[in-house]
Amino acid sequence: MKNDSFAGRMDKPHDKLLELQFVLELGLFMVRYLRLKNKNKIMKLQKISALVLTLVFLISPLSVSAEESTTSSGIKAVTNFPDVLRTHSSYVAISYLNENGIINGYPDSTFKPDNPINRAEVLKIILMGSKVDVPEDFGEVDFPDFVKDIWFARFVMKAKALGIVKGNDSDGAFAPSRQVNKAEFLKMLLMANNIKTETLQTDEDVAVDVSKGSWFAPYMNYAYQVGIVTKNAEGKLEPAKLLTRAEVADMMYLLILIKNSKDTQFLLHQSEAELAQIEVYIAANKVFNAKHSSELAVDLTQQAYKNMPDNNVVLGAAKLSRAYDWLVDSFVFGIKKDYESAAEWANKAIDKSSEAWEVNNATQPIARHIKDRAREILAQVGGEEE
């Protein structure tokens, strides 16, 4: 995954200048069970994709209720947490972590995604998300600022045993309620996963606010190089930024994707989750988030293709994800009134859909839908199919 995959490739369109009146309906990812040969063994992928996806790109902003909303494809916009709507930028990450027992939320069933996160909460997410065994029996607590029977004690003591955390130099306290900044979080996250940051070492400053001599430079650099963090518009990585619960969920989720980069089925499944968000974000007038999801889906399917370059179903999925992404680009340029670019990307989406169709005939229905919608864009922006 590239370090600039999610940021800097588009500007947010002006909300009041949305003039293209077209609907992009992208339907059914048609794939089946496969048997794949791998080192003389027959490997059975479960469903490469059972995604039923109708991405309706609506120009007018739609409201999504706090409880649930039903999209045009019949997908209910609900989550296990009533305060994490499908329109939230971290919906996929939070949902994945919750489904896999990494996060549970608060006793009132909320997650409070935009609240600050403290050291105790962060350690639980890191250790659970990294699949570190945290036994219930951990001996005595040797920090002066919490007791053994508090919920986070076993996570803190495990982290200390692994050398991830230690007490303050002044009084040996852990300070469990202290907020966590980005540099601190990334250090704990990468250490918990035994990641050797020197493998991506650089002799240059990582960012304008991360000098190569700073203690956190190796962690910020590694996270930036693999795509866990991105620079803002000013070229900053913001190491001192205090994190929210949603931001921690995002970074934990991205590292999980990276660690599972050889699991083709997992990658394709998560690409589906990202593609399914596009409709929701567009309907909520969150085009930047829609583009983020389409780009991540491309990254995931490209990695899946690297894993299985000889499998036409995987190749077809990769090409279709790319076509989706370019169709989103065409949409974005259209609402920004850059009709020439809108036509260019619509033609690219058509070409890529044709490629998907050629390598795997099962992609025909969705490839046809992409082509039809791209042609609608061409007709409305005054472009011609090349």
In terms of Cβ atoms closer than 10 Å to its own Cβ (0-12, 13-18, 19+), residue 40 is exposed
Q: How confident is the model at residue 47 (pLDDT cuts 50, 70, 90)?
A: very low
pLDDT at 36: 35
78-87, 342-351, 367-376 — which is least confidently predicted?
78-87
CA distances from residue 193 to 5, 56, 129, 217 in whole angstroms, order as listed: 23, 39, 10, 18
Q: How confident is the model at residue 278 (pLDDT cuts 50, 70, 90)?
A: confident
Q: How confident is the model at residue 66 (pLDDT cuts 50, 70, 90)?
A: very low
CA distances from residue 251 to 22, 255, 349, 380 in whole angstroms, order as listed: 35, 6, 30, 39
Please report whether residue 142 resides in a domain. Answer: no
- In this predicted model, which residue has the larger pLDDT, 373 or 238? 238
Residue position matching structure tokens 């949902």:
95
pLDDT at 58 over 70: no
Rounded Cα–Cα distance for residues 173 and 176 (Å): 9
3-17, 109-123, 212-226 — which is least confidently predicted?
3-17
Q: Which helix (H) or strand (E) holds 26?
A: strand 25-26
Tell me the pLDDT of the chain averaged across its residues.
82
Closest alpha carbon to 210 in 235, 245, 177, 175: 235
pLDDT at 48 over 50: no
Please report whether residue 213 resides in a domain. Answer: no
Query: What percent of the chain lies above the pLDDT cut of 70?
Result: 80
Task: Find the mean pLDDT for residues 76-103.
Answer: 88
pLDDT at 225 over 90: yes
Q: How confident is the model at residue 60 (pLDDT cuts 50, 70, 90)?
A: very low
Please report whether residue 208 resides in a domain. Answer: no
Please report whether residue 111 resides in a domain. Answer: no
Please report whether residue 209 resides in a domain. Answer: no
Please report whether residue 161 resides in a domain. Answer: no
pLDDT at 79: 57
Rounded Cα–Cα distance for residues 47 and 128 (Å): 27
Please report whether residue 373 resides in a domain. Answer: yes
pLDDT at 326 over 90: yes
Q: Return all residues near 179 (Cβ < 8 A) that are at least 6 apart.
A: 116, 117, 118, 119, 242, 243
20-24, 230-234, 268-272 — which is least confidently predicted?
20-24
Please report whether residue 352 resides in a domain. Answer: yes
pLDDT at 337 over 90: yes
- How does pLDDT run across 294-303, given as a tens digit for each residue? 999 999 999 9
- Could you tell me if 147 and 176 are in contact, meaning their C-beta atoms sit under 8 angstroms apart? no
Q: Which residue range forms the structural domain that includes residue 377?
A: 1-81+263-386
- How does pLDDT run across 97-129, given as a tens digit for each residue? 999 999 999 999 999 999 999 999 999 999 999
Q: Which structure tokens are listed for 264?
A: 């083709």
64-73, 91-100, 153-162, 374-383 — which is least confidently predicted?
64-73
- Our count of domains for the chain comes to 1
Cα–chain center distance at 212: 28
